Every structure is written in C-alpha cells, then in structure tokens.
Structure 1
Amino acid sequence: MRRSVLMAAACVVMTLAGAALVRETPVEAAATADGRQAISYGPDKLQTLDYWPGASADAPLVLFVHGGGWSRGDKQMMQRSDKLRHWRAKGYAVASLNYRLVPAATVEQQAEDVASALAVLKSRANDLGFDGKRIALVGHSAGAHLVALVGTDPEYLRTAGLSFADIAGVVPLDGAAYNVVAQMTDGPRIMQDTYRDAFGNDPARQAKLSPTTQAAAPNAAQFLILHVQREDGIRQSKALGEALGKAGTVAEVRGFAGTGLRGHAEINRRMGDESYPATAVLDAFLARVFG
C-alpha cells in the first residue's frame, strides 16, 4: 500500500515537473487566420520573424527586410501590405523579419541577423512548406543596404552555415548607403547623424560595411537594384550595379518616378500594387530567379 502511494506521488511530481518544463520552453505563436506564424531565430526579443505559407509545399520564399535608418522599423509593416497580398497571390511564401537595432546593436550584427534568419528558415523549409533552394532577399532603405551587404560579403552567410548558393536573388529597394564612405560625404546633410550613428567614423569599418566595396566576386547570383529619383540613391545604385557587373554578377539597375522622402517611401508602400510600374519589374525578376 505504502509503495503504491509513493509511486503515485512520484508520478504527480514527474507530471508537475513536466508541466513546468513545457511552460518554460518557448513556444511559437499559433498560425493566425491568414496563416501567419511568428518564429524566433535567436535569443533576443527582436530576433523574430513572421512567416506566411505559399500556395504549395514547394513554393519559393521572399524574405523581406524592413528599413528605418538601422534604428527603427518593424516586421509588422508587412502585414496588410500590397507586397504581402501580391506575393501570396503569386503563390510565394513570404517572411518579414525584425533585427536588432542601432544603438543597442551594430550594423554588423544586423547583417548577421539577416543571415541567421535565412539559415533558420532554410533549415525548416520542409516543415514550413517552401522550397529551400528558391529564396530571394528583398529590402527597403536600410534593409536594402543589409540585403546588399549579405549578398556581397560572404562572411555573414558563412557564419550562419550558408553560402551565396543559398540565395536565388537580391533586390535592394531605394537604398543609398551601398558605398558608406562616399555617403558620409555626399549624402544629404539631414541624414548625416543617422549614418554616423550606424557606421561610425572609421573609414576602414565604413568600407567593410559597403556592398559596393565588397562586390568583387563572389556574390549572390543575381541582383535587381531599384531606386527613385533621389540624387544619392541614383549615384549609389548605379555604382553598386557597375561594381557587381565588373565582378561578373548579373545586376540590373532600374529607376522609377518619385523624389525625396515621399518617393523613397512610395517604392516600399506601393510595391505589389499592380498599377505601380516597379511591381511588374520585380515580378519579372522573381519569376526569372525562381525559375
């Protein structure tokens, strides 16, 4: 009798301990009505992403990196956007990631976050339901700089256990810090504090964080560099495209209407709107790199 009581007590303790372990283990958020699933790719609270499944288990994936001057922005900007609606209508899986922000983190760590998120997604391609061999990186503004940096400097992907072969294409949307050293001197004065906070004052570090400087081969296979009519954005986009071309990398540079901050915001906000000219250009690029 006493042995039965002891065994029952032990079972209760084990059950309670197991329940405690379950409560202490991080659990991903259940999918929402539109299929969105929140996924952590690191221990920091900002190392999270939202994932929407594609139309089939072998759908390509578009991984989007938000802008915000390296110090602001949020993955939630993707929700209810024309980009999300349009890409999902194309059958693509979509992911939108948060990353650690300046000044708590460095730009180097932000690029590491992009690579780490890509690695986690790729490792889970089968259970999430997309084709891990067909992934494109798309980023706007500071996010454009980050996807271009990850697509030109192999260090970030290598650290995450990946290579350029894991990226089908890279699409920077209206970035203007592809050559940081130049941007520190000929960029708009209103942005100089933002650049200084992100890239510091060391020209060697600035060059290391410049996709144009890093664009000697090897690189990701294909780039589509889109910009509006901002003087620094035009200069920087063309220079990045030329540097990639010299390295033998397929790189197309296309400009669209829009000036100042309004145009800069519009290329992000209206991407996916069928009436916006850049949408068809990006559609054609994704169709080509995804095959």
Structure 2
Amino acid sequence: MRLVLLAGVATLSSVIAVDVASARDRLSRECRREVVRLCGMDRSKIQSCFVEKRDRLSGKCTAQVSELVRERLGERRASGQAATSSAGAELIAYGSDPLQNLDFYAASASNAPLVLFVHGGGWKRGDKGNATGAYKAGHYTGLGYHFASTNYRLVPSATVEQQAADVAAALAELLRRADTLGIDRQRVVLMGHSAGAHLVALVGTDPQYLAGAGLTFDDVAGIIPLDGAGYDVPSQMGENQALLGDTYEQAFGTDPARQLALSPTSHAAAPNAPAFLILHVERADAKRQSEGLATALRSAGTPVELREVAGRGLRGHMEINRELGKPDYEATPIVDAWLKTHFGS
C-alpha cells in the first residue's frame, strides 16, 4: 500500500509518496495504523484527508513522519532537486536548511515597500506557497508593494525560538538584497497568520530576534498579526489542549519560564516595532489574546489598531488567511488603508 503523506509536517510545498511497506524501519506499526485509521486506504483520498486531519496524529507519530519527510527532503537536496518557487515568484534562500527559503513577488515599481508574510500551521506544518492564500501576492503587488512569503523550520525538528530567528533572517536577507530587488528599506511590514501571527508579533516585540540577524526595530515599519491566539502562551496551554491536542505543548513545552519568554504580550513593554494592526475573527481565544496584546502594547505607547472581522470559529480563522486580498473580503480594505498610512503611498 502507498500512502500519500503531505510533507506539511516538514513542508507543505512538497507532496511525497511513501511506500509504507518499505518504510517500516522509519514509521512504527502504531504510526502506520494511525494514518490508516485517520484516512483509510483509498490512495485517491488520502492527500486531502491528511491535509484536513493531520492534527489528529499523536505527537509521536507526527515526529516520525516529520523525520521521514526531512530525510526525503535531504535526499532530494543531495540529488540536486532544489526547493521550488511558486508561479511568478523568485526563490531566495536565507540559510542552508531546505526550509530556509522564501518566494519574492516583485512589484513593477522600484524602491517599493515590502510585505513579508509568515504562514501558519501550528508551528509544525505549513508552506510559503500553499498556506499563504490565493489573493495576497497579486493584490499587494498590484498596489505597488513587493510581497514575499517565507518558509521557516518546523517543530519538532526546530524550536519556536529558531522559527522566530528564521523570520528575522528571512527579512535580513531581503534587506541585504534591497538595492537589487528594489526594496525601500524604510517601508517594510511583517504579516503573519495563526502561528505566523505569533511569530511576527514575537519578532516585533522581543528585540533579540532582529538583533540576531543584524537588524533593529528601525528596520520594520509595522506588524500585522492575523487571528493569532498564542500571544500569551501560558494562558493558552490548558484551554487549547482539548481542541488542539499536544500542539501547544509540542511547540512551547511545559516550562512556564520558556512559555513566558515566547509570549509577545510579555515583551510588549517598549521598545517594540513602530506600529501594529491586529486582526481577529469571532473566535473567543483569538479575541481575548488579541485584546490582551493590544492593551499591553498601548500601555507601552506603541500605536495599535485592533479590528474584529466577520467569521466564526475555525472556519473564520481559515477564511481570514484564505480571503485576505480579495477585494470584497471585509479585512482587505482594513489592511490596505493601514498599509497606505504606514507606507505613505
């Protein structure tokens, strides 16, 4: 039997067919049974099933699949199969790991602002191409802005600290190429969805990540987190266990000090990135967490615009990422107006 496993546990940009019979030394019998119980044995349906239900795998099985996929990616890299870019984008590497790369979509104008997007996926999956949404790249380049969508290393093979460092490193690489790419260094915004919202908020509040890449908050004009719920990590740990299983524990561990250190709200005392636009849908924990981050930032004197847009629960959570940039989607003009104000164009 062949199972098509999305490499979303390590990268959603590659779909790898794994012959489970020949992978018995890499996937335990229990893990193989988990996948079969989750998605059955119909090869034509496994891929879409795995996309929708991969969160239901146990942490142990997720780790095994992640390691197997990383091996396959390493084999591809060794055989000269480089990472691929999305249509219309230039692929740029910012590190030596197969996941340390980004897609750059150029605006027609030179010396243009840049929107750098960071995908979501529970810190353990996602991809610069298929977790970005269909409208963002075309919409923002159409407004005269460069747009980039970055990959980053994934849990459990990397830590959240390394993921935040990857976001900063991706930005640093783009700014290093600013003259060649036509980027206006003074007009750069970080945008992220879900786990990506947490990461851009962390990079925008804890200066160590930008500093590690040779940057400061002066290199960022603003931060746009989209429907994140991990801004105050300790408060999320117990509440999300039933819904998300071990996702938060896998990402943030059980040490309260580390959880606090990875909480943007705990770093919101000045200095911070110059401005924030925080959006959330009608989702209780995202609303509470977004309001908490906004309050903490405002207390430090950081300008914040906090907006709720229509969309309930997890459906709304996915919609804000999928639909942003679509002209008739509620959040699109909100983001456009904020960018125009902070980009000055």
Q: TM class, shorter-chain normalised?
A: 0.7 to 0.9
Deviations 1:92-147 (A, max 9, x none): 10110000000000000000000000011001000012212211000000000000
Structure 1 residue aligned with 2:328: 275
1:236 and 2:308 matched: no
Segments of 4+ moved more than 3 angstroms: 28-33
Question: What does 1:200-279 correspond to in 2, within 5 Å?
Answer: 200-279=253-332
Structure 1 residue aligned with 2:180: 127
2:249 and 2:328 mapped to 1: Cα distance? 37
1:151 and 1:33 mapped to 2: Cα distance? 29
1:172 and 2:262 matched: no
SS of the counterpart of 1:146? helix
1:234 and 1:127 mapped to 2: Cα distance? 40
SS of the counterpart of 1:224? strand
1:125 and 1:135 mapped to 2: Cα distance? 11
SS of the counterpart of 2:130? helix
Question: What does 1:73-112 correspond to in 2, within 5 Å?
Answer: 73-77=126-130, 81-112=134-165
Q: 1:80 to 1:102 in 2, by over 3 A?
A: closer
2:133 and 2:285 mapped to 1: Cα distance? 30
Structure 2 residue aligned with 1:66: 119
Structure 1 residue aligned with 2:235: 182
**% same residue:** 58
1:89 and 1:95 mapped to 2: Cα distance? 14
RMSD: 2.0
Match of 1:160 among 202, 213, 220: 213
The number of equivalent residue pairs is 266
Per chain length, whose mean CA-contact separation is higher, i.e. which structure has more relative contact order (CA < 8 Å, sep 6+)? 1
Segments of 5+ residues of structure 2 without an aligned counterpart are 1-77
> What is the letter of the counterpart of residue 106 of structure 2?
P
1:194 and 2:250 matched: no
1:182 and 1:133 mapped to 2: Cα distance? 35
How high is the TM-score relative to the length of structure 2?
Answer: 0.74
* Aligned partners of 1:61 and 1:134 also within 8 Å: yes
Comparing 235-244 with 55-64, greater Cα deviation is found at 55-64
1:289 and 1:118 mapped to 2: Cα distance? 18
Question: What does 1:6-85 correspond to in 2, within 5 Å?
Answer: 34=88, 36-77=89-130, 81-85=134-138
1:29 and 1:156 mapped to 2: Cα distance? 25
Q: Could you tell me how far 1:79 is from its partner in structure 2?
A: 7.1
Deviations 1:35-93 (A, max 9, x none): x1101000100000010111211110000000000000000126771111111110110
SS of the counterpart of 1:115? helix
* Aligned partners of 1:53 and 1:130 also within 8 Å: no
Q: Could you tell me how far 1:31 is from its partner in structure 2?
A: 8.7
Segments of 5+ residues of structure 1 without an aligned counterpart are 1-23
